[in-house]
Amino acid sequence: LFSCTVVAVLLSSVPLLELLQRVLDVTWTWPSPSEPALSSSEEALLCSAWLLTASLLAHQHSYNSEVHQPISLNLEKILNVVIFRKKKPALLLVGILQLLRFIIRQNFSSSLLVLIVQPTAQSSLESLPSEDDASLYPLTVRQVLSLVISLQNLLAQKDLLLSQTVVACLEALMEYLHVKNQDTALHVASQPWNRFLLFTLLSGGEKSFLCPEILRLVTLFARYQNNTVISQSEISQILQEATKANLLELPENISQALRLFLLQVQSRRDQIEPAQAETIQTLLETVPPRTRTSLKIPDMICLGGVAVSLSHIRD
C-alpha cells in the first residue's frame, strides 16, 4: 500500500507528525461530558489518525525509515481506551488495536514512538513488581488479563472488521507472552472462557468453523493451550468440515487460515490421532498454496468517511 518513498516523505514531515500527535491526544479526553461532541468529520479524522499512525509504525519498521519527530503515547492510556471503551466507535478501536498490535510485534520499541510507561496505581502501592510483571515489561500481568478479557468481549460483538483486528492483536500478544513468560501464555490460552467464546462465535446462523477469524482463533488456542480449549472433538469437526468442502473453491482468506490451522495441529502430535494425521496430510496437499491473485481484489472499504484497507487489517 505504502511505498518506501511515501513512508520516508511522511516520516520526514515534522508538521504532519505534530498534527498526528495533536489529533491522537484528543482520544484521551473524548467523549467527555464537559466538551462539545465531535462532528462526524472530526470523528473520521481521529480514526484515520490512528490507522495512519499504525501504518507508519509498521512501515517505518520494515523500511527502517528515518523519523524526524517521534510521537509520544502513553501505554496505560492506550490500554485503558481498549479496556474501558466508553462508547468509542468500532472504527476508533480498530485503529487503536492496529497500533497496539504493531507496538507489541515490535517489542514496544520503535523510533517512531516514545512510549510512556507509568508505574500503575496498583503496582506503586505494592513494594515491587512481581517476577511475572518484570518478565512482561512494559506490560503487567493485570494489564494482560484485562486486555485479553476486553478483546474477547470485542470478538463477541461479531463485527467483521473489528474481529479481524482483534484476532491479529491477540496473535501478536500471545506471541509476545510466549516469548517473555510461557506460564502466562499458557494460562491465558487455557482459560475455559476461550472455549465459551468459541461456541458463542459459532452460534447463530449457519456458522461453521470454516471462517477465517474462527480458524485463526482456533489455531491460536491450539498453539498455546494445554488441550483444555481445543480438544480432539473440535479438531475432528474442523477436519470433517474441510473434507466436505470444495477446497479449490474456498475464498483465499479461508483456505489460508485453514492451511495454517492444519500446519499447527500437524506440529502437535499430542493433539491428534493417527487417522487424523493422515486426513491432515491429504487436506494440506489439496489446499491451494497462497497465490498473489488476491491482490487484484479491491479491498478498500469506506466506513464513516474513512477509507480502510482490509488486507492491511488482516495480514
Interacting residues with ligand NAG (CB under 6 A) = 106-107, 179, 186-187, 190, 211-212, 226, 228, 251, 253, 297
Q: Which residues pair with 115 in a beta bridge?
A: 73
CB nearer to ligand NAG: pick between 89 and 212: 212
As given in the structure block, the three cell numbers for residue 223 are 498453539
Give least dist CB 104 to ligand NAG, A.
9
- The H or E element containing residue 4 is helix 4-11
Q: Min. distance of Cβ 226 from ligand NAG in angstroms?
A: 4
Of 219 and 279, the one with the shorter C-beta distance to ligand NAG is 219
**Helical ranges in 157-273 per DSSP H:** 160-180, 182-189, 192-202, 212-224, 232-244, 252-267
Q: With respect to ligand NAG, which residue has the nearer C-beta, 143 or 253?
A: 253
Query: In 3D, which of 173, 150, 20, 144 has the Cα closest to residue 88?
Result: 150
What are the two backbone dihedrals, phi and then psi, of residue 300, each rounded to the nearest 5 degrees? -85, 130
Nearest residue (CB) to ligand NAG, 88 versus 223: 223
Task: Report in angstroms how near the CB of residue 298 gets to ligand NAG at its nearest.
Answer: 9
Reported residue count of the chain is: 315
User: d(Cα 44, Cα 36) in Å, to the nearest integer?
Assistant: 16
The position carrying cell 506490560 is 139
CB 99 within 8 A of CB 58: no
Minimum distance between the CB of residue 28 and ligand NAG, rounded to whole angstroms?
27
Position with the least CB separation from ligand NAG: 190
**Minimum distance of ligand NAG from residue 187's CB (angstroms):** 4
Longest dimension (CA), the chain: 64
Q: Output the smallest distance, CB 84 to ligand NAG, in A.
A: 26
Beta-bridged to residue 301, according to DSSP, are 308
Nearer to ligand NAG, 60 or 279 (CB): 60
Kindly state the cell numbers that stand for 228.
Answer: 483444555
Question: Which of 203, 226 has the CB closer to ligand NAG?
Answer: 226
